[in-house]
């Protein structure tokens, strides 16, 4: 079965908050399996909280019998915070096109003390600007909020100390909006403690 080198908790089966806090992607390692041979087509399957959706990585072709590395996008593991996901890999053998599956690795993703709903966007029809709005229960003036936007490039401004207990507003640069127009992007945020800025 596969393994998750980035997971440091519970002997490698728990992705802790410290593990995923700044990860852009999650590394999945596929070991050398029985009868691994050149020409085999391997991909990793990620089964999260949505039972009807399975994320599949791009396939890789085996060149030599050696461990292989795959990556899961941040959106996938962040969406499963507080849950356990199933990770496995498939092997398609070129000689008969039969697809076989590995054992299932169960990866727990540590929950958070705060309930952090997804951010929202606010469009200004006057000047065409777009803002990220962050609002969550229990906002306090001792917290910091940091947003991150991942598209063709990543935009991550400095954190801001909470100055509005109802909602925090972040401007999105127009040039970032233009370079990502028409493509899917990931927008998330992190909440910190002003007394623990070093995190």
Query: 193 - beta bridge partners?
Result: 143
Q: pLDDT tens digit string along 179-188?
A: 999 998 989 8
Sequence spans of domains, the chain: 10-109, 120-196
Residue 128's pLDDT is 85
Does 21 or 118 have the greater pLDDT score? 118
Percentage of the chain lying above the pLDDT 70 cut: 98
pTM over 0.85: no
Q: What is the DSSP string of 88-120?
A: EEEEE-TTT--EEE-PPEEEEE---SS--PPPE
What's the CA gap between 68 and 5, in Å, rounded? Answer: 12
Q: pLDDT tens digit string along 162-173?
A: 999 999 999 999
Q: What is the mean pLDDT of the chain?
A: 91
CATH topology of domain 10-109: Immunoglobulin-like (2.60.40)
- 52 pLDDT above the threshold of 90: no
In sequence order, the 6+-apart residues with CB closer than 8 A to the CB of 101 are 45, 88, 89, 90, 91
What does DSSP assign to residue 9?
B
What's the CA gap between 193 and 144, in Å, rounded? Answer: 6
């Amino acid at each position: 079965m596969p393994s998750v080198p980035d997971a440091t908790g519970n002997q490698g089966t728990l992705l802790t908050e410290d593990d995923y806090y700044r990860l852009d992607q999650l590394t999945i390692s596929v070991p050398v399996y029985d009868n691994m041979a050149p020409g085999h087509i391997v991909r990793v399957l990620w089964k999260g909280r949505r039972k009807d959706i399975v994320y599949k990585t791009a396939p890789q072709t085996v060149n030599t019998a050696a461990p292989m590395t795959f990556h899961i996008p941040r959106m996938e593991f962040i969406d499963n915070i507080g849950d356990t996901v199933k990770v496995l890999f498939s092997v398609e053998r070129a000689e008969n096109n039969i697809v076989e599956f590995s054992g299932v690795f169960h990866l727990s993703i540590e929950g958070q003390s705060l309930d952090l709903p997804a951010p929202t966007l606010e469009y200004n029809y006057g000047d065409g600007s777009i803002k990220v709005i962050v609002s969550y229960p229990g906002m306090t003036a001792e917290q910091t909020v940091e947003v991150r936007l991942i598209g063709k490039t990543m935009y991550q401004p400095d954190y801001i100390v909470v100055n509005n207990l109802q909602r925090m507003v972040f401007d999105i640069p127009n040039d970032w909006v233009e370079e990502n127009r028409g493509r899917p992007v990931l927008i998330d945020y992190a909440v910190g403690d002003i007394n623990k800025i070093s995190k």
